[in-house]
Chain A
Amino acid sequence: MADPITVEHLSAWLRHFAATVDERHEYLTELDSAIGDADHGVNMTRGMRAVVEKLDAGAPEFADDLFKAVGMALVSSVGGASGPLYGTFFLRLGTKAGHVSEVDASSFGQALRAGLEGVIARGKAEVGDKTMLDAMVPAVEAFERSAADGSGAATAADAAASASEEGRDATEPIVARKGRASYLGDRSVGHLDPGATSTAMLFRSLATALAA
């Protein structure tokens, strides 16, 4: 069980997420072709491959350096709105986590919160807009709750992953109010949001990496 969370855990998280996105990119694109511009799978794959390349070139020793590298790689390689959004998430996460080689569950919860707030500020969206926030907000809240109970990082990450998956599923009946999908209005109903779906993958990858 991973408590404290080490930089190796965090690298494993990112590699697992990259592998998931790679493997499921057709599914993400399929979701995005229903309500967006059909590029979420391709964009996220390109972004996470850039992240993995950076990790391969020499994984940083400290959390802030790691997430700065990740954030910058995403910002400059994704191409779509998920670049600045995920980029901001990781940049803020790293700044809050600080120049440390390991972090406890409670501090990591605070870092996730900082990342989430960055996404809210960047995208100017809220829960119910049918965006990645519908998965990210419940995930971060669940992580914080679980960490406050003292149940450890792996348990908190598992709670976050489950909450993000519920949040993702809840996007299906919603009318989109942000991004390209909002142009579709009522026609966006009946489809999962691609951003919420990739965010649920992100938190499931975290749970997998911390359970190892």
Chain B
Amino acid sequence: MIGIVVVSHSEPLASAALDLALEMVQDAPPPIALAAGTGDGGTGTDAMRVSEAILSVDGPDGVLVLMDLGSAVLSAEMALEFAEAAGEVRLSPAPLVEGLVAAVVRAAGGASLDEVDREARSAASAKAEQLGGDGGISEPAESSGASDADSADQRLTMVVTLVNEVGLHARPAGMLVKAANDVDATVEVAANGRGPVDAKSVMGLMTLGAARGTELTVTASGPDARRALDAIRELVEDGFGEDR
């Protein structure tokens, strides 16, 4: 599993962002380290602490570093000079809170550094999408191999309706990601004429803007396609465990 480092000027900000992200991966979060604030509890960043944080979550799968603004970026760049990490260390251009939530969920599913990096980067476009515009940012990725010519592959499709109050917002999306991660299948979700998006991408799912009553079209292929659909149907029909 890749490691994640949070660099912020503020320790309370970093801790709170981390709490928010961890709510979505209660059972098996990736290794995460914070490097936030100055040593004496003030506002600021410290390249040495960033370096130590990187080494504390380092491993062969690599480390993704998320930062807030200004000197957090400079300190993280500086830390790369100090930290002799075993795996690749990458600095993410993602916005801190949104990027962290996206990255933690994706990393918990065992995704590679490339996949987690991409997921974090998509966080800003997911938000723009939710606000009803594309914000000049790219649309969610098109589905691959969706043509009818692939019919030799077993592709199963179902349509389910969201019954929970808040629709496919962050927490339910995180649960759906987990269900998709737990099986050996490629799962995609479309709704509202949008998508399909990768069901392992919490930010992708949120771009669908699926509220209560929305019909989700879920497509799965691969050895566990049936199990994937069953698990997702159960989650959706159960309202993701929320009050309905």
**Interface set of A (CB-CB < 8 Å, partner B):** 39, 43, 46, 72, 75-85, 87-88, 122-123, 179-180
Q: Which chain A positions have C-beta within 8 A of B74?
A: 81, 83-85, 122-123
- Bound CA span A85–B38, Å: 16
Q: Is the CB of A76 within 8 A of B46?
A: yes
Task: Please judge, given known A-B contacts A76-B39, A77-B39, A122-B77, whether A87 and B70 are in contact too, CB under 8 Å.
Answer: no
Most B-side CB within 10 Å, residue of A72, A75, A81: A75
Task: Please judge, given known A-B contacts A75-B48, A76-B48, whether A83 and B70 are in contact too, CB under 8 Å.
Answer: no
Task: Choose among B44, B48, B77 the residue that contacts A72 (Cβ–Cβ < 8 A).
Answer: B48
With both beta carbons as reference points, the residue of chain B lying nearest to A179 in the complex is identified as B70
- How far in angstroms is the closest Cβ of chain B from A75? 5
With both beta carbons as reference points, the residue of chain B lying nearest to A50 in the complex is identified as B39
- How far in angstroms is the closest Cβ of chain B from A92? 11
Chain B, residues 138-160, CB within 8 Å of chain A (1/0): the string is: 00000000000000000000000
Closest CB pairs A-B (n = 3): A79-B44, A81-B71, A76-B48
Q: Which chain A positions have C-beta within 8 A of B42?
A: 79
Chain B, residues 75-111, CB within 8 Å of chain A (1/0): the string is: 1011000000000000000000000000000000000
With both beta carbons as reference points, the residue of chain A lying nearest to B9 in the complex is identified as A79
- Bound CA span A71–B37, Å: 19
- Bound CA span A72–B70, Å: 19
Q: Is the CB of A80 within 8 A of B78?
A: no
Tell me if B5 counts as interface (CB < 8 A to partner A): no
- Bound CA span A80–B74, Å: 9
Task: Choose among A43, A76, A84 the residue that contacts B77 (Cβ–Cβ < 8 A).
Answer: A84
Q: Which chain B positions have C-beta within 8 A of A79?
A: 38, 42-46, 71
- How far in angstroms is the closest Cβ of chain A from B223? 48
Tell me if B202 counts as interface (CB < 8 A to partner A): no
Q: List 15 A-B contacts (CB under 8 A).
A: A39-B43, A46-B38, A75-B46, A75-B48, A76-B39, A76-B47, A77-B46, A79-B43, A80-B71, A81-B70, A83-B46, A84-B71, A84-B74, A84-B77, A87-B78
- Bound CA span A79–B47, Å: 9
Q: Is the CB of A87 within 8 A of B47?
A: yes
- How far in angstroms is the closest Cβ of chain A from B43? 7
Most B-side CB within 10 Å, residue of A84, A85, A122: A84
Given contacts A39-B43, A79-B71, A87-B47, 4 further A-B pairs with CB under 8 A are A46-B38, A81-B71, A83-B47, A84-B71
**Interface set of B (CB-CB < 8 Å, partner A):** 38-39, 42-49, 70-71, 74-75, 77-78
Q: Is the CB of A180 within 8 A of B48?
A: no
Q: Which chain B positions have C-beta within 8 A of A76?
A: 39, 46-49
Question: How many inter-chain residue pairs (CB < 8 Å) link A and B?
Answer: 57
Q: Which chain B positions have C-beta within 8 A of A77?
A: 38-39, 46
Q: Which chain A positions have C-beta within 8 A of B71?
A: 79-84
- How far in angstroms is the closest Cβ of chain B from A38? 11
- Bound CA span A46–B41, Å: 13
- How far in angstroms is the closest Cβ of chain A from B12? 15
- How far in angstroms is the closest Cβ of chain A from B68? 12
- How far in angstroms is the closest Cβ of chain A from B81? 9
- Bound CA span A40–B70, Å: 14
Task: Please judge, given known A-B contacts A80-B71, A88-B78, whether A75 and B47 are in contact too, CB under 8 Å.
Answer: yes
Q: Which chain A positions have C-beta within 8 A of B70?
A: 80-81, 179-180
Q: Which chain B positions have C-beta within 8 A of A72?
A: 48
Q: Which chain A positions have C-beta within 8 A of B48?
A: 72, 75-76
- Bound CA span A90–B51, Å: 19
- Bound CA span A46–B48, Å: 16
With both beta carbons as reference points, the residue of chain B lying nearest to A43 in the complex is identified as B44
Q: Which chain A positions have C-beta within 8 A of B43?
A: 39, 79
Q: Is the CB of A83 within 8 A of B77?
A: no
Q: Which chain B positions have C-beta within 8 A of A85?
A: 74
Q: Which chain A positions have C-beta within 8 A of B49?
A: 76
Most A-side CB within 10 Å, residue of B43, B49, B74, B75: B74
Q: Which chain A positions have C-beta within 8 A of B47?
A: 75-76, 83-84, 87
Q: Which chain A positions have C-beta within 8 A of B44?
A: 39, 43, 78-80, 83
- Bound CA span A123–B74, Å: 7
- Bound CA span A79–B45, Å: 5
